[in-house]
Structures are given as structure tokens and as C-alpha cells.
Amino acid sequence: MIKAVKKYTLILLLSLGVKGYAQQGIQFSQYAFTGLTVNPAYAGYKEDWTLNMVSRLQWTGIPGAPKTGAVSIDGLTDDIYKNVGLGAVVTADQLGPQTTSSAYANYAYRLQLDDEDTRRLSFGIGFGVSQYSVDESKFQATDINDPGIGAGNISKLSPDFRFGVFYNSPTFYIGASALNILADANFKDNAAVVRESRTFYLTAGYMMPLTGSLDWKPSILIKEDLKGPTNVDLSTNFLLGKTLWLGASYRTGVPTFSKTALQTSLSHYDAISGIVQYYVSDRFRIGYSYDVNMNKLASYSNGTHELSLGISFSRRKERILSPRYF
């Protein structure tokens, strides 16, 4: 029997026992500003070519804790019909000795639903590759002669695709997507590498003007991998003076249906977040969020930090008829 433990892994295993689905598909607290990471149909939504970058340091203070980053760019192929959106997204996720990296090219076809062009229904698909690797040199064996622990890397490179649908109007959006479609098929011959599961996302949000200078936007993200608890993120954000977002979110697990591989003793409480986004100009956005754990990990972690940047490159002189709040 192999006897091995990863350096500093006891605390991380505790966290996985509380929330074993934490790394099953990436998720950012500022998901409302990083739509392309979870839905290829989001490509071209803002119409201007837009570069988004986000970095997430999870469970700071714990060695080997997750570190996640993503860079995406998307926009329209033409400014007249605005029917085709293109985008690219690159992500990297590290948890202890394991690293997951991916790159996708995304295509979205956008149907115009009204003469004023304020409502669109988009269908998107993304093709790319993912690399999953484990650095065995970061493992420590209780038995120095343990043949199950090597000193090199175990890796798997696999093609994959994703698809989604996205509807938006000036005050409402809803989107559904499926990621890691080929996950199970690609790894039947390599059980040594832990990989992300096939994951489904549902997102929705609503923009409600309260006064001339204050708007309210509640939103929800539901993530389901058919193995762990259904993840639900409820957010509320206020827009002050069209330049400053202040908000908070609550993330939890919800028991939706029976899952034979899921422990029944898991805590469904996850984290609460504080979020701030500031538009330095019409083309530059900076955001920050801080997560506080609500489970057993709270006594070990110093919280989670997430920083995001957004830059738009406009070629048009006219104003957008429908501001892009999502």
C-alpha cells in the first residue's frame, strides 16, 4: 500500500473534506466581469474589443493553496451587423503539486431580436486544449523506498470543447454553458492525473435603476458537476455614479439530488465576499474582491484575494445605445 502525503497537505485535505468540489472547474468571485471564462457565447457582448485579466489567490496563509489566473480578449468582427463575436481565453490553476492550464478559441453567433438592437441571443462554442500535470517532486513519502512516488512530472494534454447560450437586454441577462465536455473520454487511460469534471453553469442578472445616480444589480451563478454539491453564488452590487461598483456575494453548496459518491456530512457553507469595481475611464476598469471562509478552513486561512483588470479598445465614435453593465 502506497504511503505518501504531500507537504503541508493536512490542512488542504481538511478543506477538501468540507468542500470537495472546490477545484472542479474554475470560478471567480468577480464572475460578472469575466463572462468568457465560463461561457463562450459571451464573446462580443461588450461589442468593443475588450481585454480582461484576473488573478485569484485562494486560502492565503496555507502553503500549496490554489492560485488561479485568466486572461481573455473578445470583440466583434464588424461594427455594422454585429452578428459574430470572437474571443480567446487562457487559464492557469495550481493546487499544490498539480497544475491545470488551458487555452480556448471561442466563436459566438449573435441574433438581433429587435429593431433597436438592444436585445441579442447568442450561441457560442469554444475549442481548445488543456494540460493537466502533477509534479511528483513535491510529494513526501513516509517510506523513502516507496516505489509509488517518483521525482518527475506526470502530465496529460487533451483537446476539448465547450458551448453555451447567452441572452442580454439593457436590464437583464441569462446564460447557460457546459465546459470540459470531453473530460471523461480523455482520461480513461490516465487515472494518475486528477482533472476537472464536466461542469455546467447557469448565470443570470438584473439591472434596476434606483435613482439617477444609483443602480442595483442582483445576480446568481449556479455551478453543477454532477458529483459534488451544487454550487450557488448569490451576489448583490450597487453602481454609484456609473463609475463605482460596491457589492457582496454569498457562496454555498446546495443538495439538489442524490449523488452516490458524495459524502452526506459535508458542510454546505462556503464563503462570503466583498467586491469593489471602479471605472477609471470608459475604457479602463479595476476590481478587487476579498473572500472570507465560513467553514472549518476559516481558522487556517487568511482569506482569498482576487484582482481584476479590464481594458476596452473602441474603434467607434458613436455611443453604445445599450450600456454594457454585465
The CA distance from 142 to 3, in Å, is 6
Going by pLDDT thresholds of 50, 70 and 90, the confidence category of residue 270 is: confident
148-190 confidence digits (pLDDT tens): 666 677 888 889 999 999 999 999 999 999 998 987 665 555 5
Q: Minimal CA–CA distance to 305: which of 323, 315, 294, 292? A: 292
The CA distance from 61 to 85, in Å, is 40
Tell me the β-bridge partners of 156: 132
User: Using an 8 Å Cβ cutoff, are 198 and 180 in contact?
Assistant: yes
Give the model's pLDDT for residue 324: 73
H or E element, residue 184:
helix 183-186
Strand boundaries in the chain, DSSP class E? 4-6, 49-57, 67-76, 84-95, 98-112, 120-135, 139-141, 153-168, 172-179, 199-206, 208-211, 214-224, 230-240, 244-254, 269-281, 284-293, 304-313
Average pLDDT of the residues in 82-105: 93
The CA distance from 206 to 114, in Å, is 19
